[in-house]
Structure 1
């Protein structure tokens, strides 16, 4: 069995499990035994797209019976039967309306993976932590300000019970983002981070996503509730979780953020994406809008989803803007895209992913006005970057420099779930996470949930029509 490739640039702790086997018996207290709770989102399956040393191959699943569960099981079967490097997960499934109580009572594992309907996720997290389980949760952990204190309490309980609660921040493992962060720490190239203004933030991150998309080689079937913001959450508290996390992670690496002192919201807005019934059918395989979506349907045929949002805020006095937009389907040859800029006193670090980049994220370094020493600074600092990321090179382009990245680093979004899981396993072995992780998760969810409250006080922006 070939496991996730060892990649030195990520410094993954393979020593974590060097003497253990993925077939290790569940009776061995050292083995990690996974539980999957109500897997309504395909991210639950992506955690299992590969095997992990020291993790039992038997996974206990607790969920209500229905299409969400079956889609998850089908994806696991696909991974188990693929010709190239198949997995060998065994799924022991409990189906029933009392699935949560059954899981808490049976204690069949020690790590609970949660990726599904977000309406009750914060409650699930709290009850699972109370029962003494570790939790690896897909974002968002909370979708409303009213439940923010419940999440804070879950983290406090986790500390008391010596268990780890962690969310799946895959974007920290995207190579252009990692390099943007690395170059921002090179003062000779970047200088220092600007403070910016509301109209010209020091940091901007924009993300474009699509309801109709290909995952693991097939068109993704989305549950109908994914379009219900009462269950999935609005876009401003969903995908923006990643973007707010990256702002904290890049601007103040390994530093603790105090949400009560360090965060000040400036403005926030939200708007809908319109989806007709035929588009809805194509991604859900359902013939009609369910009753719980009728509140968002106009003219009996157009579903309006508050999937888009923008947050403008200050983090330790640094102006930042994050935004997420959902279209129905990407243009031919394109996919989800990301734009990011960090403005320094000497240079700007910009990730672009448009047609010019063939829809592949590309990092550029562009000198600010008056800086004539960028080339020299880049050449002098490149060896330090190459020490962490061997093979990275520079290429002169019209407006500055492109960072040339070897293909081996371009793993893709699906592979990043394995990276996050490996990091979490490393934390489990150590029995703790870095001191900044928990307060920064709390700060992140404070930002998103308070931004939603602020956006709701304003008139919704213009609707984005699906194409």
Structure 2
């Protein structure tokens, strides 16, 4: 073949290839226009999938494509969506297009009517679902946890580079970052005149501690929550050290090292982890699942007294860049009257401790306290606190105050900031939509997601290393 002709053919092939690449890249870019996000919900076995749709979003089309096996979990999901559409105040306008069948995953991947997949359900399938969606070039908004065992973490490590190659975003739903007391704890820890600097701590006396108490029986969107039976199988839901602890580990990184990338290979060391079980009677199990008895897959967890042991409780000790942290999770069956899920947190500074309590004294609402150390002049500490509050009020926060309380001061937060846990799902979703429009996550998010799941899955190993 003549050289000039060969050159023209090659140039044409390259131009065609470049055109296809540009077209493919262009199709993945999002502008933030109304209705350009089209959601697909995959196997919504957990109520968090519905909470993503508790609000409307201008950028999100009202038609949502649901792919799932038929059964009570799908019915419960659709009933929640319907309740949001029919509520008298701020009703939503979702239109669910549902495919029911055992081949729901393959069907969704072959049809791909949307560009973002919401995944919240059986965690044994979570990493597989995520990989399948990323392989197909779909953006993924996943409920926690994205990995419940070490093998899942090894798989997850490969998915972020793959997502970058495909031009899509993988993100997990970290609602606890939007709790106002936690936000202010983080903000005040960055004010050295008040807080000093974060202590390093020790394994026995960590610099930061986060404890979370949850309940199997609860109300969601005003109705008693019916949980699927697999929720009580740690092989499917995950244990305490890998499930709710995901939030707590995330907050340690987010508060102690704001917008800093953490390397799980260089910056993190695990010291210890342990697990324990909450036992549920047959009647309690029936109350929360509406099932008459224990399914076969829970036989391995039954005791001689015909209760089921759920290893939902866990505690992990680890350090990040030399800063020692402890996170722990406890699950009870039902909260005391007037109470709900609770959170305790302390950040220890060289001048003051920042403490979140949510007990009976706080009427089970999270309250932030500033407690100066004994060797710190109280008048100087109050002056620093006043300056800090004024700085916050002159910035993105309004109406904050403080009042004397015991060892220090209670931070007064306007009720308008306390939107509740369910509303945080919309806040996470809005942040994700923002990232989709920008076409990327913040530089620190991916390494810190990996660091978080390294801690939780490594804790899973350590809790069995006895």
What band does the TM-score fall into relative to the shorter chain? over 0.9
Q: Which of 290, 311, 317 in structure 2 is aligned with 1:285?
A: 290
Aligned pair partner of 1:447 in 440, 447, 455: 455
User: CA deviation digits over 1:216-240, x for unaligned, max 9?
Assistant: 0011000000000010001110000
SS, match of residue 463 in structure 2: helix
How much has 1:350 moved relative to structure 2? 0.1
Single out whichever of 386-395 and 69-78 deviates more from structure 2. 386-395
Aligned to 2:411: 403
Give unpaired runs (5+ residues) of structure 1.
1-15, 25-30, 459-467
The number of equivalent residue pairs is: 433
Q: 1:385 aligns with which of 392, 416, 420?
A: 392
User: C-alpha distance in 2, partners of 1:105/1:152?
Assistant: 25
Which residue of structure 1 lines up, in the alignment, with residue 362 of structure 2?
A: 357
1:366 is aligned to: 371
Q: Which moved more, 1:340-349 or 1:300-309?
A: 300-309
Deviations along 1:342-377, one digit per CA (max 9) or x if unpaired, are 000000000000000000000000001211121111
Q: Does 1:145 align with 2:145?
A: no
Query: Hey, what's the Cα distance between the residues in 1 that align with 2:171 and 2:253?
Result: 16
Question: Secondary structure of the residue that 1:235 maps to in structure 2?
Answer: coil
DSSP-derived class of the 1:356 partner: helix
Q: How big is the alpha-carbon RMSD for the aligned residues of Structure 1 and Structure 2?
A: 0.8
1:213-224 alignment to 2 at 5 Å? Answer: 213-224=218-229
What is the distance in 2 between the residues matched to 1:290 and 1:411? Answer: 37
Distance 1:225 1:381 in 2: 47
Moved more, 296-305 or 347-356: 296-305
- What residue in structure 1 maps to residue 256 of structure 2? 251
Q: Distance in 2 between matches of 1:196 and 1:153?
A: 34
Runs of 4+ residues deviating >3 angstroms: none
Q: Distance in 2 between matches of 1:285 and 1:311?
A: 33
Partner-residue secondary structure (3-state), 2:336: coil
Which SS does the other structure have where 1:299 is aligned? Answer: coil
How many angstroms does 1:113 deviate by? Answer: 0.1
Alignment partners' CA distance in 2, 1:230 and 1:279: 20
Distance in 2 (alpha carbons) for counterparts of 1:207 and 1:381: 28
Q: 2:108: which partner in 1?
A: 103
Q: For residue 388 of structure 1, report the CA deviation from its aligned partner.
A: 2.1
2:236 aligned with 1:231, yes or no? yes
Alpha-carbon separation, structure 2, partners of 1:71 and 1:151: 29
CA distance in 1, matches of 2:396, 2:460: 38
SS at match of 1:40: coil
Alpha-carbon distance in 2 for matches of 1:108, 1:178: 37
Deviations 1:125-182 (A, max 9, x none): 0111010000000000000001211111111100111100000000000000000000
Q: CA deviation at 1:299?
A: 2.0
Q: Which residue pairs with 1:303 in the alignment?
A: 308
| Cα-to-partner distance string for 1:358-402 (whole Å, 9 max, x where unaligned) | 000000000012111211111122221112211111111121011
Query: What does residue 333 of structure 1 align with?
Result: 338
Which protein has the larger Cα radius of gyration, Structure 1 or Structure 2? 2
The aligned residue for residue 121 of structure 2 is: 116
Corresponding residue number in structure 2 for 1:420: 428
- Hey, what's the Cα distance between the residues in 2 that align with 1:310 and 1:176? 23
Give the distance between the partners of 2:367 and 2:205, measured in 1 at CA. Answer: 22
Secondary structure at 2:437's aligned position in 1? helix
Instruction: Work out the CA distance in 2 between the residues paired with 1:383 and 1:300.
Output: 58
- Deviations along 1:172-223, whole A, 9 cap, x unmatched? 0000000000000001100000000111100000000000001000110000
Shift of 1:300: 5.9
Corresponding position of 2:21: none
Whether 2:77 is the aligned partner of 1:72: answer: yes
Q: Who is 1:37 aligned against? A: 42
Task: Provide TM-score, normalisation by structure 1.
Answer: 0.92
Distance 1:375 1:384 in 2: 14
Give, in whole Å, the separation in 2 of the partners of 1:74 and 1:382: 44
Q: State how far apart, in whole Å, the 2-side matches of 1:357 and 1:382 are.
A: 21
Q: Deviations over 1:26-59 (max 9, x none)?
A: xxxxx00000000000000000001001110000
Choose which of 309, 312, 324 in structure 2 pairs with 1:319. 324
- Which segments of 5 or more consecutive residues in structure 2 lack a partner in the other structure? 1-30
Matched, 1:429 2:437: yes
